Chains A and B, each alone.
Chain A
Amino acid sequence: MRIECKHVWEHISGYIDGEVDAGLRAEIDKHLETCEICSAVLDSTRNVVVLMADDRVFELPAGFSERLHARLDRELQLADST
């Protein structure tokens, strides 16, 4: 029996993360073979996930690390003297 598009959408995130069981995965794969809408929804969702993971999207503010470690240095010395 052919599963519905809506059913595929409900599991898209788990599918991308490899968290759906083998039976469901096979059903979804079969559906994707013939459904261009679900294929495009899956591909676009996966693409969004890949892009978000890129370090260039969220960068630390300039000098963040330097300021953090300078503050740590001061605190570590303080902790020394107490």
Chain B
Amino acid sequence: MAASNPEFETDCIRRILAGEKHLFHALIEPCERAIYFLLLSLLRNEAEAEDAAQDTAIKVYLNLKSFRGDSQFRTWVLSIARNEGLGRLRKAGSRREDSLDAETDEQTGDYTPAILTSWREVPSAALEQKELGALLRQAIDGLPEIYRNVVLLRDIEEMDVRETAAALGVSEGAVKVRLHRARALLQRSLAPRLKGFAPKRKGLFGWGA
């Protein structure tokens, strides 16, 4: 994720509004990933998420003068992306949008982690193996919608709690609860399978057996 840079953004927006339109490319570029993955999480279809991401960028451009700077630029952009996604779900007559509202944090579930007695770290270098990335994507894809969105923005795009809450239109408390549950579900589904990706170091610290 590209770090947001409010000074660059403010200056860029001022100049774009004054006529230097080409600067919009540089302004929107750091938000591209977050826009796309938020929409993919909502729409669950790559082609439609891409189309919606393009529409989002155009809406951002057309509404640029209404950006007040009282939130971070990216937060504002993501709320436009979210509205675009929800609008498409509504138009498609999808029931998924209803289910988004219906899912609440009240629901109870089992968030007991996978119980392990030892853990050998899987290094990021292991991501060179395609199966590991696929395993992670599958696990995230299998999360209930309200948890998937939060994981996507907090852990994958590394946005902070406040920004995630603003982009999703939920409270900061809800973001924390959902993130906690999502991570517990991911740990439970992934930990037993990730073990195979840890480097083999027989005998060291008693890992051998």
Q: Are A56 and B133 in contact (CB under 8 A)?
A: yes
A60 contacts chain B at the CB level, 8 A cutoff: yes
Beyond A41-B115, A76-B24, 12 additional pairs, beta carbon < 8 A: A9-B184, A39-B119, A44-B114, A47-B121, A56-B127, A57-B136, A60-B33, A68-B54, A75-B61, A76-B21, A76-B61, A80-B21
B108 contacts chain A at the CB level, 8 A cutoff: no
Cross-interface CB contact of B184 among A12, A51, A65, A75, cutoff 8 Å: A12
Chain A's interface size range is 35 or more
Chain B's interface size range is 35 or more
Separation in Å of the A51 CB from the closest CB of chain B? 6
User: Hey, which chain A residues are within 8 Å of B37, CB to CB?
Assistant: 58
Task: Enumerate chain B interface residues (CB-CB to A < 8 A).
Answer: 21-22, 24-25, 28-29, 32-33, 36-37, 46, 50, 53-54, 57-58, 61-62, 111-119, 121-122, 124, 127, 132-133, 136-137, 140, 151, 155-156, 158, 176, 179-180, 183-184, 186-187, 190-191, 194
Instruction: Report if A47-B54 is in contact (Cβ < 8 Å); known contacts: A53-B156, A58-B137.
Output: no
User: Hey, which chain B residues are within 8 Å of A37, CB to CB?
Assistant: 115-117
Q: Chain A residue with minimal CB distance to B40?
A: A58
Cross-interface CB contact of B183 among A43, A45, A68, A75, cutoff 8 Å: A45
User: Hey, which chain B residues are within 8 Å of A19, CB to CB?
Assistant: 176
Cross-interface CB contact of A68 among B22, B57, B118, B132, cutoff 8 Å: B57
User: Hey, which chain A residues are within 8 Å of B46, CB to CB?
Assistant: 61
User: Hey, which chain A residues are within 8 Å of B194, CB to CB?
Assistant: 44, 47-48, 51
Q: How far is the CA of A61 from the CA of B180 in the complex (A)?
A: 29
Task: Enumerate chain A interface residues (CB-CB to B < 8 A).
Answer: 9-10, 12-14, 16, 19, 36-37, 39-41, 43-45, 47-54, 56-58, 60-61, 64-65, 67-69, 71-72, 75-76, 79-80
User: Hey, which chain B residues are within 8 Å of A45, CB to CB?
Assistant: 113, 183-184, 186-187
Q: Are B33 and A12 in contact (CB under 8 A)?
A: no
Q: Are B24 and A57 in contact (CB under 8 A)?
A: no
Q: How far is the CA of A16 from the CA of B187 in the complex (A)?
A: 13
Q: Are A47 and B119 in contact (CB under 8 A)?
A: yes
Q: How far is the CA of A48 from the CA of B189 in the complex (A)?
A: 10
